Structure formats: C-alpha cells, structure tokens
A and B are shown apart, each in its own frame.
Chain A
Amino acid sequence: MKLLLELFLTFAKIGLFTFGGGYAMLPLIENICVGKKGWITHEEMAHITVIAESTPGPVAINCATYVGLKKKGLPGAVAATLGVILPSFVIILIISFFIDRFLEIKWVASAFRGIKIAVGILIIDASIRLMSKMDRKPLHAVVLAVSFAAVMLINIFALSVSTIVLMLLAALTGTVVYLIKRRAEKEASE
C-alpha cells in the first residue's frame, strides 16, 4: 500500500512539473525512477523509451504504466498512470470552465490570433524533428510525401476521409514490403 501511494505521488509530481508533454517528461522520469528511487535500471529505461515511441498513445502514460507494472504489478500500473494524469486533468478542467468568457476579452482574442500561428509553426517543427530521426529509406520518403499530399487534399476539398484510413494503408504497405523483402532474401539464400 505504501509503495502504491509512493508510485502515485511520484508520478503526480512528474505530471505536475513537466511542460511540453511526454517527451519532456522522459529525462525527469529517468532522473527520479532510475537515479533517486532506483525503481528501474538504465537498460529498462532505454527499453521503455523504445516501447513508448513505437506504441500508440501518450508517451508519459506508456512510461508510467511500465514503471508501475515493474514495481507492483497491475495495481502499481494503475496507481502510476492515474498519478501522471491527475494534475493536468485538474488544471485543464479549471481552465476549460473559464476559457470561453476569457476569449471574449479583446486583447486575449488578439493574442490568440498570434498564438494560432505559433501552434502551426510548432506542429511543422515537430514533423521536421520526427523526419530527422527517421531511417532514411526511399520507401519512407514516398510514404511521407503521399500522406502529406493526401491530408492536404482532404483539407482543401473538405473530404470526409479519416486519417485512420491512411494509417491502415501505411500499415498494409509495411506488411507487404516486409513479406516481399523476406521472400527475396529466402530466394537469394537458396
């Protein structure tokens, strides 16, 4: 019980003090869970980073679930995950009650017109950073260009195509490419 509470409080602290989302949390999680508390090893931290990046969902949730699970099984995973969510949940809930009235003030509305542009720039920058981390393969470049063009067309013509369809197509392409590659390797070895 004591460990559960400690997991909850530790991850609540991590959730409260990191701005900029899950990736900004990784160093703090490493510092606390590997360094101070000794809950997991450096290797496990590297492993969890890979898992967090290659599975869907918020990176912070993936990390909290993993650490909680390692330390105290399923109850630990639940405690750590709820801990990392709780602070932002409360803060956003309070903000969301006031935001509409807040936006009626002239200077706030003006500020948000500027902020909208900043958000666009941040999103473009995020995609550029992802690109720099990607394996440079022709296949990846083609898929990237096609999905870019597809989403632009969907936006321009206001089509009702879900981006999930694009992702499923990408997953299918990946599977087919893998199967072809493996077959080619088999034939080459025979």
Chain B
Amino acid sequence: MILLELLIGFLEIGLFSFGGAYGAIPLIRDVVLQFGWLEEEKLSYMIAVSESTPGPIMVNMATYVGSVKAGVPGAIVATLAVTLPAFLIVVLLTLLLKNLASRGIYKTVIGVLTACVTGMILATGVWMVLRCCFGGVTEFSPDYKAVILTIALTAVYLVWRTISKKRMSPILLICVAGAAGVLAYGW
C-alpha cells in the first residue's frame, strides 16, 4: 500500500510546511525516514536534484520520492498530495475567510510557528553538515576531507556574497561543490 503511504505522507508535508521549500525539509526528512522510503544519503541527493532543476522545490521532491518508490503512479500521487493542501487553503482563504490573515491571533501563532520552523531548519542543516564531516552517532568516522570542503565551500559562499553583494545562486554553489568533491574523492 505504498501509494496510500505516499498520499498520507505528502498530504502531511503539504499541510505542515511553512516558510517555503526549506521549511519543508525537516518534515520531509522526518516522513521519508519514518516510512523508510529513502536512506539519509539519498535524501541529500534528492534535495540537490530538486534545487538544480526548475520548478517548485517541494513539488520536485515529491515527484522524486514518489517515482523512486512507486514509478509514475507514485510520482503523480505524491505530487498531487503535496499540492492539495496549499491549493485548498488559498481557495478557502480567498473565498471564505478574507480577514483571517489580518487577525491578531493568526499573526501571533504564525510568528511563533515561523520561529519554530526556523529552528528546525537550522538544526537540519547543521546536522547534515555534521554527518558529512563526522559520520553518524553510532558509526563515528571523521572525514577530514569533508571538514576541509565544508570550510572551503562556506568561505566561497560568503566571499561571493561580500564581493558581488548578491547571494550566490544555489545551483552555482552545487556545481562548485560537485567539482570540489571530484577533486577531493577522486574520479
């Protein structure tokens, strides 16, 4: 019943993800690991692929997971499931609850939720980098090349922003990181 699992999992993700695609990453990771759909490894590949292809990142992730787990039907179910809550909420907000977004309670709750999600995103990113550098908790295996790559890539990213006054595009950073990976780990 993988299709039903995909439906429930991605409805959950679509309904509880605030703050765009990055806000969804902790939740997607949660759901994907919980159902055992992908290993932690594959998850970062999926995020990299979703970042480097056009379109909404969350939709890309849903299509990817759905397709890997259950082919075309899986991709369709996961994509529609991640889309549906956002679709319905905008329709409801626009047609029925015009003033909800300006009510005090809604603003307060959304503010706290955003703070909570921001903390979750930060922890997820920190954890992903730590795992690359030091392995998991049970299989502690420091990787000095990864530590050096982390420092180098962070430096490139920050220097780029300082010099060009613009954020380095994620795709460019991913390309640089790919080239650096080939240099560090061989071909």
Contacts and interface: CB of A to CB of B under 8 A. Distances in A.
A110 B106 CA distance: 46
A117 B47 CA distance: 11
B157 interface: yes
Of the four ranges (under 10, 10 to 19, 20 to 34, 35 or more), the interface on chain B belongs to: 35 or more
A125 interface: yes
Given A18-B55, A56-B86, A112-B178, A151 B124 contact: yes
A107 B176 contact: no
B54 A87 contact: yes
B49 interface: yes
Given A20-B170, A88-B55, A117-B153, A123 B178 contact: no
B110 interface: yes
B56 A21 contact: yes
Interface residues of A, number: 102
B169 A20 contact: yes
Instruction: Provide the main secondary structure of the chain B interface.
Output: helix
Nearest to B136: A158
From A56, A92, A166, name the one whose CB has the most chain B CB atoms within 10 angstroms. A92
A189 interface: no
B54 A58 contact: no
A155 B14 contact: no
Contacts of A125: 125, 157, 167
A123 B22 contact: yes
Interface of A: 15-23, 25, 50-51, 53-62, 65-66, 69-70, 74, 77, 81, 84-85, 87-89, 91-93, 95-97, 99, 103, 106-107, 109-128, 130-131, 134-135, 137, 139-141, 143-152, 155-158, 160, 162-164, 166-167, 169-171, 173-175, 177-178, 181-182
